[in-house]
Structure 1
Amino acid sequence: MKLSLGFLGIAASIAYVQAAPASHSGLAAAPIAVPKTQSFPVQINPNFSRSAKASVFKTVNKYKKFVQADGHKATVLASTGSVNMTDVQNDVEYYGIVKVGTPPQSFKLDFDTGSSDLWFASTLCTTTCTGKSKYDSSKSSTYKKDGRAWSIEYGDGSTSSGVLATDNVNLGGFLIKGQTIELAKTISSSFTSDPIDGLLGLAFDTITDVAGIKTPMDNLISQKLISTPEFGVFLGKESNGGGGEYIFGGYDKTKFKGSLKSVPVNKSQGFWEIKVASSKAGSKSVSSSFNAIIDTGTTLLLLTNAVAKKVAAAYGATDNGDGTYNINCDASKLSPLSFKINGATYSVPAEDLIFEKDGNTCVAGFGYGDLPFAILGDVFIKNNYVVFSQTSSPTVKLAPIA
């Protein structure tokens, strides 16, 4: 669910998450079997603005449609090639270059574990895609027409729509054949201010806009391009130099401390949803258990209303009435916010509880929305390494970053 402040204007007011729009409608040497992996280093782009309010608004509307009304070197062995990624405006969103077609055409895509569609601007988009790299089907020998329509409605009321097709997709050196792609014919005008050309969804295939589509991760597995059905995510931040990486088929042991702890995932709604047992602000308990979705496409921590009120009270934060809070600008006067998940504790340090500064006012790295679950966005992920394991009984594996 890309709820990032930048994407598509990240809706006028939602928690820095790239809106994963709400939709309508290698080889290892024998004899040792080694997982094939792919890494995606990340770089920083300082030329993009932040907005906690926009991030919260976008994220809430992204998920609303799904709510019912009632060191050692990483084991990155076998693959050849990596994809550099960009950290936009100090952690607002992260994108990587994905190549599509034959010969390949390159696109900046927001990698989003909160949505499942792969879409980008195309030459069919003649008016609203100014400044975007556009996929040209006439220039790809492996393009195949599908023709079915897709349409995604964003939290700010804007839309993105187009038609389906198939083509080969190069994801970090892995050539996925016959991947279904969504070619945009129209996009939100607010999208033009965002540096990305589209979105690469990494949630489950049950929430694709058009039913029955296989996601890129599905195809990496079914086409046996990776031998381990997982991908590891490290998101950098200002304090550690930015950067980051996605590794498909494995994970990077140098990026976290201790050992990874496995957490069961409830995929019934199509998301990477887990159970958080409790949370604390410093040593003060602020909540009992709640469900949460781990979403790389959301910038902030978006908590349920009840949990957010208690967290805000613990930090003396004031409610802005728009899903965001103002918080003390002095990190030395704040304590870490921690979450107990399947017996282990994962924290967000005080400095990352301050997201946006405007003069003498600071906006918190957490917010709230009228949702029955929380969203653990980039504020959480850039402090905790995450491995998403897409097995028949999916899990996420977590460890604090090194």
Structure 2
Amino acid sequence: MLTSAVVGLVACALSVAGTDAVATTGSPYKISLASRKIPKGHAAALRRRGMTAFSIPLDDQFDGTDLQWFGNISVGTPPQTIPVVFDTGSETLEFTSTQCGAPCANQIMFDTEKSSTYISYNQTFSIAFATGGGVNPVISADEYVLTMLAGEDTITVGGIATPNVSLYTVINQTEAFASDPYSGIQGMSTQAQGFFAGLVQQGLPAMFGMYLTPKIIGNAELTLGGVDESKIFSDILWSEVPAGSDGTWQLNSSQISVNGYTTPLLASNRTVIFDSGTSNAYFDTNTTEAIYAMISPNIKPYASEPGAYGIACSEIGTLPATLDLTFTTITGEPFNLTIPSSELNVGPFSDDPSTCQTLINAFDGLELVGGSLLKHYYSVWDLSNQRMGFAWNGVPQWL
């Protein structure tokens, strides 16, 4: 999920006429790197301090399409198990509490009175999100809003406790959150914060790996402090997070191509955010409609859900819709990250089952990819070197 506002808080032939599309050249670059090995010196420090990487299993919220991956942390003394989304699109830790009551009844709620280490700051805040956990676009600024109480407590992950972690307990939430099977969000930005900062201070490398899989594959996981070699089936391609990203995981992209073709608009430079807490892809309206124009003229805006687009469900399964986003490695070589055609259909609209929603939502001012891209790669998020890495995760792209 991506925070929007905080109150008090911080290859097929082109068949579309009238476009200026040109065929892209080349293919995704493959480069051999020793990237999966810990650099000299860093390895020595690891041995000296004695902390090794460990993994947390993740479950997949599934409602006809992969939506969201989440796993457990433990909060308080004695520990209470709380399921959270490990969200690269946010920075803070927030989860439901018993003070929320009925609006949070679907989630596991943390009981502050049962934790001897919980401290309340007696400060209440509200936070809004620009993207939600599902596939529907955020229609209004007050759709995804949490009201929270600031405090601190001990967070235990992988059997390692970090005391005095700043957190926010949800005391009220809007209806859009009600169907979530998880209780909250743990921000995993480019700057280590909260429990992750505590682990880093105790000697864990400031890196994590994400194996986000389709529901049919399962066994998704988050690896803290490194990567899971058994989930990586190619070299890791590294790209630098641009300076001034202010905690946001983002990369500069030189081109978007659709089914092997691009246009002057799509071949322009842009900065793309990588958000593990968001399912769909988001681009500005002009970019979104330029992409859809290269897929089918029958993909149209969906009036009742601003920002969403759709097409007859009877037609969507026949459409080629492979999106390649071009980035650059740290050695200056271009490479592509692909969202395959299998991701185009995110299911029928609830108010019109004959019309299926398509992958990309229009959101002016936002260029973002989420789970629909990330589940086709093993992603590495390196805080120490401010870079991201991608490798094939062994999952066929048609899943």
TM-score, normalised by the number of residues in structure 1: 0.74
The amino acid of 1:123's aligned partner reads: T
SS where residue 258 of structure 1 aligns?
coil
TM-score, normalised by the number of residues in structure 2: 0.75
In the other structure, the counterpart of 2:262 is 285
Moved over 6 A (4+): 28-31
Q: Is the 8 A contact 1:354 1:363 kept in 2?
A: yes
Bigger shift: residues 255-264 or 109-118: 255-264
Bigger shift: residues 308-317 or 112-121: 308-317
Q: Deviations over 1:367-402 (max 9, x none)?
A: 22111x4111111111122111112x4111112321
The answer to whether structure 1 residue 304 and structure 2 residue 284 are counterparts is yes
In the other structure, the counterpart of 2:200 is 221
- CA separation in 2, counterparts of 1:246 and 1:378? 14
Q: Is the 8 A contact 1:356 1:363 kept in 2?
A: yes
- CA separation in 1, counterparts of 2:308 and 2:101? 36
| Higher radius of gyration, 1 or 2 | 2
Bigger shift: residues 123-132 or 298-307: 123-132
In the other structure, the counterpart of 2:22 is none
**In 2 relative to 1, CA 252–338 (structure 1 residues): closer, same or farther, beyond 3 Å?**
same
SS where residue 294 of structure 2 aligns?
helix
**In 2 relative to 1, CA 335–188 (structure 1 residues): closer, same or farther, beyond 3 Å?**
closer
Over the matched positions of the two proteins, sequence identity in percent amounts to 23
Aligned-pair Cα RMSD in Å: 2.7
Alpha-carbon distance, 1:192 to partner: 2.2
The answer to whether structure 1 residue 370 and structure 2 residue 390 are counterparts is no
| Aligned residue among 216, 221, 225 for 1:245 | 221
**In 2 relative to 1, CA 178–260 (structure 1 residues): closer, same or farther, beyond 3 Å?**
same
- CA separation in 2, counterparts of 1:153 and 1:45? 21
Alpha-carbon distance, 1:360 to partner: 4.4
SS where residue 259 of structure 1 aligns?
coil
- CA separation in 1, counterparts of 2:46 and 2:241? 33
| Aligned residue among 108, 111, 124 for 1:136 | 111
Q: Is the 8 A contact 1:21 1:115 kept in 2?
A: no
Alpha-carbon distance, 1:177 to partner: 1.9
- CA separation in 2, counterparts of 1:184 and 1:335? 40
- CA separation in 1, counterparts of 2:157 and 2:54? 8
In the other structure, the counterpart of 2:295 is 315
| Aligned residue among 331, 336, 352 for 2:343 | 352
In the other structure, the counterpart of 1:15 is none
Alpha-carbon distance, 1:91 to partner: 1.2
The amino acid of 1:356's aligned partner reads: G
**In 2 relative to 1, CA 43–309 (structure 1 residues): closer, same or farther, beyond 3 Å?**
same
Alpha-carbon distance, 1:117 to partner: 1.4
| Aligned residue among 108, 116, 122 for 2:97 | 122
SS where residue 398 of structure 1 aligns?
strand
Bigger shift: residues 285-294 or 315-324: 315-324
In the other structure, the counterpart of 1:24 is 7
- CA separation in 2, counterparts of 1:309 and 1:31? 49
In the other structure, the counterpart of 2:56 is 40
Listed as ranges, the matches of 1:171-190 within 5 Å are 171-190=157-176
Alpha-carbon distance, 1:254 to partner: 2.8
- CA separation in 2, counterparts of 1:244 and 1:231? 14
- CA separation in 2, counterparts of 1:292 and 1:124? 37
Gaps in structure 1 of 5+ consecutive residues: 3-19, 50-88, 207-213
**In 2 relative to 1, CA 281–189 (structure 1 residues): closer, same or farther, beyond 3 Å?**
closer
**In 2 relative to 1, CA 388–153 (structure 1 residues): closer, same or farther, beyond 3 Å?**
same
Q: Deviations over 1:280-299 (max 9, x none)?
A: 11221241221110001111
- CA separation in 2, counterparts of 1:42 and 1:199? 13
**In 2 relative to 1, CA 338–31 (structure 1 residues): closer, same or farther, beyond 3 Å?**
closer
**In 2 relative to 1, CA 36–325 (structure 1 residues): closer, same or farther, beyond 3 Å?**
same
Aligned pair count reads 330
The amino acid of 1:229's aligned partner reads: A
Gaps in structure 2 of 5+ consecutive residues: 9-42, 130-139, 329-333, 395-399
The answer to whether structure 1 residue 400 and structure 2 residue 382 are counterparts is no
| Aligned residue among 150, 156, 160 for 2:125 | 150
Listed as ranges, the matches of 1:87-102 within 5 Å are 90-102=65-77
**In 2 relative to 1, CA 189–357 (structure 1 residues): closer, same or farther, beyond 3 Å?**
closer
